[in-house]
Amino acid sequence: MPSYLKPDILARAEALGLKARQVVEGLRVGDHKSPYKGFSVEFVQHREYVPGDDIRHIDWKSYGRSERYTIKQYEQETNFIAHLLVDASNSMRYGSGETNKLEYAKLLAASLAYLIVRQRDSVALRVFADGWAAELPASSQLGHINTVTRTLEEVQPRDKTRIGPLLDEVADRVGRRGLVFLVSDCFDDVDGVLAGLRHLRHRGHEVVLFHVLHKDEVEFPLDGNIRFADLEGPDELRTRPHLLRPAYLRVVNRFLEEVRRGCDGSGVDYVKMVTGRPLTAALGEYLVRRLQVVRR
Rounded Cα distance, 257 and 5, in Å: 32
Residue 252, helix vs strand vs coil? helix
Closest distance of CB 196 from other proteins, Å = 19
Nearer to other proteins, 47 or 242 (CB): 242
195 CB contacts (<8 Å, ≥6 apart)? 164, 167, 168
- 97-136 positions binding other proteins, by CB under 8 A: 101
According to the binding rule CB under 8 A, does residue 237 interact with other proteins? yes
According to the binding rule CB under 8 A, does residue 45 interact with other proteins? no
The conformation of residue 232, written as its DSSP 8-state character, comes to T
49 CB contacts (<8 Å, ≥6 apart)? 58, 68, 69, 70, 71
According to the binding rule CB under 8 A, does residue 156 interact with other proteins? no
Nearer to other proteins, 115 or 127 (CB): 127
Closest distance of CB 245 from other proteins, Å = 5
- 253-272 positions binding other proteins, by CB under 8 A: 255
The residue within the footprint of other proteins, chosen from 251, 281, 288, 293 (CB under 8 A), is 251
The residue within the footprint of other proteins, chosen from 1, 11, 142, 243 (CB under 8 A), is 243
A 10 A CB-CB count for 229 gives 10
The residue within the footprint of other proteins, chosen from 131, 221, 246, 278 (CB under 8 A), is 246
**Of the candidates 73, 108, 102, 109, the residue with the CA atom closest to the CA atom of residue 88:** 102
CB–CB of 212/237 below 8 Å?
no
Closest distance of CB 84 from other proteins, Å = 21
Rounded Cα distance, 244 and 226, in Å: 12
Q: Which stretch binds other proteins (CB under 8 A): 25-33, 45-53, 129-137, 250-258?
A: 250-258
**58 φ, ψ (degrees, to nearest 5):** -70, 135
Nearer to other proteins, 24 or 86 (CB): 86
Rounded Cα distance, 2 and 61, in Å: 54
Closest distance of CB 55 from other proteins, Å = 58
According to the binding rule CB under 8 A, does residue 224 interact with other proteins? yes
The residue within the footprint of other proteins, chosen from 48, 54, 67, 235 (CB under 8 A), is 235
Nearer to other proteins, 229 or 288 (CB): 229
According to the binding rule CB under 8 A, does residue 184 interact with other proteins? no
Rounded Cα distance, 160 and 134, in Å: 15
Closest distance of CB 102 from other proteins, Å = 10
- 49-88 positions binding other proteins, by CB under 8 A: none
The residue within the footprint of other proteins, chosen from 19, 28, 162, 245 (CB under 8 A), is 245
CB–CB of 70/58 below 8 Å?
yes
Question: What one-letter code names the amino acid at 278?
Answer: P
Per-residue burial over 120-153, b = 16 or more CB atoms within 10 Å of its CB, e = otherwise: bbbbbbbbbbbeebeebebbbeeebbebbbebbe
Site residues, other proteins (CB under 8 A):
90-94, 101, 185, 187, 214, 217, 222, 224-233, 235, 237-239, 242-248, 250-252, 255
